[in-house]
Structure formats: structure tokens, C-alpha cells
Structure 1
Amino acid sequence: MLNLEADLFHRPGKKAGSLNAKPLKDLTRITPAALILAEEKRKTLMVQIREANALEEVRFDSLCLSLVHNLINHCQNLPDTSNSYYSQQGGLLDHALNRTEAALSLFRQYLVQEGGAELSEEQKLWQYALFSAAILQGVGKLYIDYSLDLYDNNGQFLKQWNPLLESLVAVGSHYSYEFQKESDDEFRRRLNILIARLLMPAGGFAWIAANPQVLAVWLALLNEDAHAAGTLGAILIRADAIAIQRYFNQMMLRNYGSRGNRYGRVGTFTGGVPESVAEIEQQIGVEFIQWLTRALEAGRIHVNKAPLFMVPGGMLMTPEIFQLFVREHPEYKNWQAIQKGFLSLGLHSVAADGSVSTRFEQTSNQQMHNGIVFVNYAVALPAQVQLHNLNTGKSVAISATELVNQAQFNNHFTRQQNAHIANALQHLTVAGQWQAAPVAPPPQVSIRPGVLNGA
């Protein structure tokens, strides 16, 4: 027990905090949750989340708003990433709010309504499980990805913060942080559940824990096990992608606004924006992803048809896709620069030896395909795509959420056949049971990734 406590407090691998005082101007003040939420775009998101939530006001405040406040007390104004999406101050919270709003909107598509439009108590419970998992997704990164020191009002170092033990607001008045160079996704997924339990309102956790089926799915969501989480797992992946799409769209508008060409880009990045090589690479990467989204939406590129294949671990993009982009954008001279821009966003898989290129064998014809695996491929998906059937040679329209679901069972590019069979996404009845979808498909809800005001 003593060794465990030592591990928790000293956190091996973390740099010890400075024992010297720091000027307050070099530190970040710990801010009340209500004040952080008062920022206009967050107020808008909270209104949309409240409207999409089926809980009455009193229960929303006690179960949902309190959870958001608890998260803020833990993450304050931390960015979500060091140099990719949601890397601005408060980005971790902004990402969580955008993801949650999108998840609640998508959830409505998978409800079986009987009679009135009101959700049953069982459906409200499932919705709350999704809400809380969306808010808390990846929260284990607070332990893994940051080294955070706490200070008092005089700038005197107090201690290094441990998110498993207390909130930021419990000790000190200021903090400083730095990102850790290495991350551990498997460890983070385990920590997600520990920190989520710490942040959950007692009544909210008791409600989820009272239903074993809901609890199992909730734990799977926090563990980022989309297969075990079923429909809600696919919804949450799609919602997270929408949140990142929103950030990319806003980033392009912020940097170029109406001064860009038809794709919102200014020539070859002249005029001093962006300034650094890293910024230029990221802008190119975002432009490539947005182009891919439009090409998929228009049906010019099909999933599972060269140069884009679903493989275990994500979407394989062969070099031809970057070459196709350059052919449509002759102002760029080589496709390698486009690939480098995409890689700068950190949305791809990296092998243990650091290589980014992977080879897959197509099981039906033993043909080899080489390329980059787009792990967060859902970020490039429009609401609907054309999916090419490698067995029949025909393409069919499929929703992005359904594609995410089917991708878990991909067996076209693996040497060992997967024993699982892809099942269609199920819908939630008023009795709180998941069942096959109705014969008539539910209407598609249009979620505009770049718009937060409902326009």
C-alpha cells in the first residue's frame, strides 16, 4: 500500500516541480467553472446541449451541469493538444463540449419513438450515459499527457498536481504546465475510467450503475472500446470527428476568412499568414482533409476503392490520393508536401520503428496496398459516403456513423479472417432496449461542423 501511495504522489517519469517561486505573470490563474463557461461560444454550446438533452432542468443541472463543472475544475484552461486540433487555451473543454453537442444530436437518429416525442426514462438513462462519456472521453490524458505544477497567490510552488487525487481548484490559485513527450494510449484508457468515476456526480453514477447493461456500455465508451459499446460507440466516434471538423473549419476561417480562393486558402500562403513552417504544413494538411471530405460527399472518391481502403486500424490512403489532390491543385508542385502536411496533424498511425507507411494484403486477390493509415479517418467523412463492395464491385450510399460501425469488422485486408460479423446499428426503444432499426430509415440530421449558432 505504501508503494502504491508513493507511486501516486511521485508519479514516476514526471519531472519534479520547481521549488522556486515564479512571477504570477508566468502562471495561469485558476478560474471558477462558471466564469470559464461564460465565454460566448461555450455559452452557445451549453444552450444547445441543454436543448438536446431530455432531462428536465433540475435534473440537468444536478447530473449534467455539475459534471461539466467538475471537468472544468480538473482541466481549467488546458489545451487539448500541443500543436494539433484544439491546441488553444481551454481547448480540452472546447473539444469536450463540441463532441457532446454532436453526440446528443446524433443520438436522436437512433431512437424508436412510440407516440409522443418525449423520451422514456430508460431512453433518458442511455442518453445520460452517452452525455457523460462524451464529456469525459479521453480524460485520462490529464495524468498521462501533462505535467502540472500548483502555486499559491505569491507564486510559491506548492506541489505537482495528481488528477487521480484531487481537482485543480482544491489546492493553490495558479498553475503552470507542460506537455509530456510520450503518451501511452492503453494506460490512458484505463485511467479514463478512474478519473471519470472521480468526476461523476454521485446521483449520475448511481443512476448508471443501477442498470448493468447501461453500465457495461458506459465503461466500454470510457475505455474507447467501440465494438463493446455498440451503437453509442459509433455515435461517439462520429461525434468526436464532427468536433474536430469544426475546429479545422474555424481555423481556416480564422486564418484566411473571405480572402482565400474557392477553398478558403490564400494563394501559396503569402501575406504573412501563417508565419511558421509548422503552421503552413498544418494548413496544407487541413486543406487536404477538407478536399477529401468534399470528394467523398460528391461521390468522386469511394471508400474501399483505390486510393482509399478501410483496413484494420483505420483508413489506408495510398500515395495516389495525394497525387490526385495535386492534380486538382496545380499550384502545389509535389504530392510529398501534401502528405507531409497531413502527417503534421498527427491523425495517422506510427509503427514502433517510427515509420508511417504500412503494407496490407487484400484477402480476395492477394494484391498488396501500401500507404498511410488514417486512424482518425472519421474526421474526413461527410454525413454520407459511397462504400464500394469488394466482393460484388458495386457501391452503395452509407451514413458516416454506419461506416464507423462496419469498420470494426473489416476483414478484407487481414491475413486472418475476423470471426465477428458486422451487425447493423440498433435503435433504442422506449423500454430502454436496443433492437434492429425500423424498416423506414430515420431522417438524417444535418450537423454543420463549422457552425455553432444553429444557422
Structure 2
Amino acid sequence: MFHRPNKKTTSSHAKPLKDLTAVVAPAQLLADEKRQELLTKIKEFSSFDHARFDQLCLSLIHNLINHSQSLPETAHNYYTGPCGLLDHALNRTEAALELFREFVLPEGADLSDPQKLWLYALFSAGMLQGIGKLQIDYRVDLFDVNGQLLKEWNPLLESLAAVATYYHYEFQPEQEEALRRRLNLLFGRLLMPASGFAWIASNPQVLAVWLALLNEDWQGAGTLGAILIRAEAISIQRFFNKLMLKLMGGRSGGRLNRVTTFVDSSPEAISQKEQLAGMEFLRWLTNQLENGKIMVNKAPLFMVPGGMLMCPEIFQWFVQANPEYKTWQLVQNGFLALGLHAKDADGNVMSRFEQANTQQMLSGVVVSKYMVALPDKVKFYNVHTGQESTLTAAELAMSARHVAITARQSGVISSQLSQLSAGGQWQKIEQSGASPHMGTKYSG
């Protein structure tokens, strides 16, 4: 049996039903209007007929729901509400399939069966990305119809819906990312419909890429990896945009701090205020990148192993443009409250890097989910050639992986995406511009 660390023993054998969450059928959760819209788009992008979609796609979605039920994606950052894990997966997958249509297929082409197989690999990986968190991020206790405790749930052994009538969950302390990625593979096999897994396993190349996608091995996942990275960012952008509109009373413009009044000094209200500052900064940064006023790989925004380094100057620039924010540290803390950054083994958020060609030391916050800050296209600066170029966000994701393992390489590094032939073979397509160049992590 898989041992889950940091699990507490249950102190009570029963709970009032009002304190528990009821297990519901997948069809009930999918009846939500927004989820129906996403399902319709996913089916449209897949090009599967009704029977095949139900067999391959809807069955996987149902399996995921039977396991995750109404669990949120995160405790404080994004997709924090009921069914957050499901909503995140649906939004990510819908965005991924649309990008697949945009980048991978020749314009206007109908999908061949080999192309549909690659699309299905992307669909299933999109639905299952990060699913290993079920084993280590939550403690879930299962209860019967009377609220009597049955046992603590082990998601590797059975679905939540198969055992319980009610459940209660708590978030657990952060666990090792590498363990979660390995667990993704186990859950992927567990939740995949038999016919869907057999189809993927029938093609060794597709199987290899599918496993790389689940393991978040973006180099091994190639073009589909770049697409899934971008789709993940789009899904998080959607959540933040919706939250901003809600907090602004439905207004689409204006600054959050000017239309929202905080009179509550509770920890929850303070946390919300920090997040609002972070979202305002994020929106400003996206606009600056879109207008070319800030460039990737030019101070104070650099590609580094593990993500994008935001030096303190980036937050200082925001405060200069928005003087109602008194300190750049407040804005930085607000951005950190969004949960898009990386931490080192000791839990520190600040990192230092040495730029390979100049030996200049750079320090700041490494943003692992930096794609959330990017518009569709960005300008970037090649530190070796001095050239400025334009890349789509997906192309930048492709470039970032290559540069991460060739930090001291000079010259141009390919950022080409690939298109998929009717026979299911990947073919390079011409892209303009050179990729950015990452720095070298400082170990001192």
C-alpha cells in the first residue's frame, strides 16, 4: 500500500451531515452551464462522433469526477471553490485542443485517424495533468449515509464515489513535486478508460509523448508539451479574469483598488487584498509585454532554469506607474499570493543566477507558471546576438525547454513548433526569430 506522509489520525468517528460534502453523480456536476459549454467545445475540437466521444472522452471525465468529486484545485491561489479541480481540468483541456487545432494541423484540414490519436493523447493528458495531487495534497475521510466515519480514503486503491456517501477533506502541507509527477503516471493508468489507453499504447511514439506529458517532462513532450504549458496558463488566466470581474462588481475596466473597499482586517480579508494587488500587477505586466514596453530576457525579466526570473525592478516599475501602491514589496507579496512562483528546497522564494555570457549576478523571484503573465505574442531579446524578435507564447514555451539545458550555448537555438501530417508524423515548420537564452543557476 502506498504510504502517504504527514497524515493525522482521525479524532472523531462521526460528523453532522451539514459539515460533510455529499458524493454526487458525474452527470449532476457536469450539468452546470459553464461546464456544458466547455464540454461542447471539447467535443467539437475532438472531431469524434457521439459514440466515440462518450467511449473515449466522457468516460475519462466521469472517472475523474468519481475520484475528485467537488475538491478544489488549490487552497488559496486559483480554482479554490467547489469542483475547482474539475473546472481547472476542463478549462485547460478545452484550451489545449483549441491550440492543437491552431498550431499543429494544416489550416482547414479534417483530422485523420492518426491525428485524432495524437489529439486524444493531448486531451487525456490535459484532463489528468497534476492528478497525483489526490494522493498527497488532500486528506479525505469517507462517511456513510448517516455521517459515520468509514475510513480515510486512499485514492490509488478506489474511487471516492465507489465507497462513500459523504466526505470531508483537508489540505495537507506541501509535498515533493517529483513525487506528485510520478503519481500522475499511476493515476493516469488508473483513470483512463481501457479502450482509450489501448489506443494510446498501440503507438509507441504516442505512448512515449503521453507519458512525458503526464510526467511533466516538457522536453520529451515536444510540441504537445508546449501546447499544454500554454493551455495551463490560459486556464489560470480565465480564473483570475473571472475573479477580478467579480471583485470589481462586474466592471471590465478600472483599477481594483479604486473600486474595492476593504474594511475587514481579518487574515482572510488581508489575503484577498494581497491577491488583488497581485492580479493588478499581473494585468499590468501582461499589457506591458503585449505592447513591447517590457521584453523577455531583458532587464528586469529573464528566462532561467525553472521559469522566468522577475527582478525587484519589475515591481518598482509597477509602483512608479501606479503610485497609489506605497511600496513595491507590497506588490511583490501580492503577486506571491497568487501561487505562481517556485520555491527552493528550504522554502525560499528568492533565487540568484549568474548570466552566462556576462557573469552578471541576478536575483529575484522565479515564476514557474510564467505563462500566466504572457499575452499571445511577446518580444524577446537574444543576449548573444543583441537581436529582438517576436514569438508566440507557445513558441516561447518550446524555446524555454531547450535553453534550460543549453544555458551556456551561444547563438541561435531553435524554437520551431511542429505540424502533424495526415499520417501522424511530426514535421518542422518555419518560424521567424531566435529563441531566448537562459542564465546559469548560481550555487554560491
TM-score normalised according to structure 1 size? 0.90
Please give the alpha-carbon distance, in whole angstroms, between the structure 2 residues aligned to 1:273 and 1:304.
Answer: 40
Partner of 1:361: 354
Q: 1:113 to 1:353 in 2, by over 3 A?
A: closer
Please give the alpha-carbon distance, in whole angstroms, between the structure 1 residues aligned to 2:219 and 2:155.
Answer: 28
Please say which of residues 41-50 and 239-248 is displaced more in the overlay: 41-50
**Contact between 2:219 and 2:225, CA under 8 Å: does it hold in 1?**
yes
Instruction: Compute the displacement of 1:223 (Å).
Output: 0.2
Please give the alpha-carbon distance, in whole angstroms, between the structure 2 residues aligned to 1:407 and 1:389.
Answer: 13
Please give the alpha-carbon distance, in whole angstroms, between the structure 2 residues aligned to 1:411 and 1:216.
Answer: 21
Please say which of residues 14-23 and 424-433 is displaced more in the overlay: 14-23
**Contact between 1:261 and 1:267, CA under 8 Å: does it hold in 2?**
no
Q: Which amino acid aligns with 1:304?
A: N
Instruction: Compute the displacement of 1:411 (Å).
Output: 5.7
Please say which of residues 147-156 and 38-47 is displaced more in the overlay: 38-47
Partner of 1:151: 143
Aligned length: 431
Partner of 1:135: 127
Please give the alpha-carbon distance, in whole angstroms, between the structure 1 residues aligned to 2:153 and 2:313.
Answer: 47
Alignment match of 2:396 (pick from 392, 395, 403): 403
Q: 1:256 to 1:322 in 2, by over 3 A?
A: same
**Contact between 1:362 and 1:413, CA under 8 Å: does it hold in 2?**
no
- Unpaired runs of 5+ residues, structure 1, are 442-455
2:311 aligned with 1:318: yes
Instruction: Compute the displacement of 1:361 (Å).
Output: 1.1
Instruction: Compute the displacement of 1:205 (Å).
Output: 0.3
**Identity of matched residues, %:** 57
2:7 aligned with 1:14: yes
Partner of 2:70: 77
2:270 aligned with 1:270: no
- Unpaired runs of 5+ residues, structure 2, are 434-444
Q: For 1:71-112, what per-residue CA distance to the aligned partner results, in whole angstroms no more than 9, with x for missing partners?
A: 000000000001110011110000000000000000012334
Instruction: Compute the displacement of 1:287 (Å).
Output: 1.1
Please give the alpha-carbon distance, in whole angstroms, between the structure 1 residues aligned to 2:26 and 2:127.
Answer: 15
Q: 1:377-416 residue pairs with structure 2 within 5 A?
A: 377-410=370-403, 414=407
2:198 aligned with 1:206: yes
Q: 1:98-247 residue pairs with structure 2 within 5 A?
A: 98-113=91-106, 117-247=109-239
Q: For 1:348-370, what per-residue CA distance to the aligned partner results, in whole angstroms no more than 9, with x for missing partners?
A: 12122332211111111111111
SS of alignment partner, residue 150 of structure 2: strand
Partner of 1:447: none
Instruction: Compute the displacement of 1:426 (Å).
Output: 1.0
Partner of 1:295: 288
Please say which of residues 135-144 and 281-290 is displaced more in the overlay: 281-290
Instruction: Compute the displacement of 1:345 (Å).
Output: 1.6
**Contact between 1:411 and 1:417, CA under 8 Å: does it hold in 2?**
no
Instruction: Compute the displacement of 1:405 (Å).
Output: 0.8
SS of alignment partner, residue 396 of structure 1: strand
> Larger RCO: Structure 1 or Structure 2 (Cα < 8 Å, ≥ 6 residues apart)?
1
Q: 1:335 to 1:268 in 2, by over 3 A?
A: farther
**Contact between 2:297 and 2:303, CA under 8 Å: does it hold in 1?**
yes
Please give the alpha-carbon distance, in whole angstroms, between the structure 2 residues aligned to 1:212 and 1:411.
Answer: 27
**Contact between 1:362 and 1:412, CA under 8 Å: does it hold in 2?**
no
Please give the alpha-carbon distance, in whole angstroms, between the structure 1 residues aligned to 2:5 and 2:303.
Answer: 38
Q: 1:112 to 1:97 in 2, by over 3 A?
A: closer
Partner of 2:40: 47
Q: Which amino acid aligns with 2:261?
A: T
Please give the alpha-carbon distance, in whole angstroms, between the structure 2 residues aligned to 1:44 and 1:208.
Answer: 27
**Contact between 1:149 and 1:176, CA under 8 Å: does it hold in 2?**
yes
Partner of 1:23: 16
Q: 1:423 to 1:303 in 2, by over 3 A?
A: closer
Q: For 1:378-418, what per-residue CA distance to the aligned partner results, in whole angstroms no more than 9, with x for missing partners?
A: 0001000001111222211110000011011226995x659
Please say which of residues 133-142 and 368-377 is displaced more in the overlay: 368-377
**Contact between 2:237 and 2:372, CA under 8 Å: does it hold in 1?**
yes
**Contact between 1:110 and 1:428, CA under 8 Å: does it hold in 2?**
no
**Contact between 1:18 and 1:157, CA under 8 Å: does it hold in 2?**
no
Please say which of residues 424-433 and 352-361 is displaced more in the overlay: 352-361
SS of alignment partner, residue 100 of structure 2: helix
Instruction: Compute the displacement of 1:439 (Å).
Output: 7.7
**Contact between 2:248 and 2:259, CA under 8 Å: does it hold in 1?**
no
Instruction: Compute the displacement of 1:21 (Å).
Output: 1.0
Partner of 1:34: 27
Instruction: Compute the displacement of 1:260 (Å).
Output: 7.7
Partner of 1:452: none
Partner of 1:445: none
Q: Which amino acid aligns with 2:307?
A: G
**Contact between 2:89 and 2:129, CA under 8 Å: does it hold in 1?**
yes
Instruction: Compute the displacement of 1:208 (Å).
Output: 0.2
2:367 aligned with 1:374: yes
Please give the alpha-carbon distance, in whole angstroms, between the structure 2 residues aligned to 1:198 and 1:122.
Answer: 24
Q: 1:215 to 1:261 in 2, by over 3 A?
A: closer
Q: Which amino acid aligns with 2:191?
A: L
Please give the alpha-carbon distance, in whole angstroms, between the structure 1 residues aligned to 2:33 and 2:92.
Answer: 17
SS of alignment partner, residue 138 of structure 1: coil
**Contact between 1:360 and 1:370, CA under 8 Å: does it hold in 2?**
yes
Please say which of residues 123-132 and 392-401 is displaced more in the overlay: 392-401
Instruction: Compute the displacement of 1:321 (Å).
Output: 0.4
TM-score normalised according to structure 2 size? 0.92
Q: Which amino acid aligns with 2:254?
A: R
Instruction: Compute the displacement of 1:140 (Å).
Output: 0.4
Partner of 1:60: 53
Q: 1:423 to 1:255 in 2, by over 3 A?
A: closer
SS of alignment partner, residue 249 of structure 2: helix
Q: For 1:113-153, what per-residue CA distance to the aligned partner results, in whole angstroms no more than 9, with x for missing partners?
A: 39x73101000000000000000000000001000000000
Q: 1:235 to 1:140 in 2, by over 3 A?
A: same
**Contact between 2:340 and 2:369, CA under 8 Å: does it hold in 1?**
yes
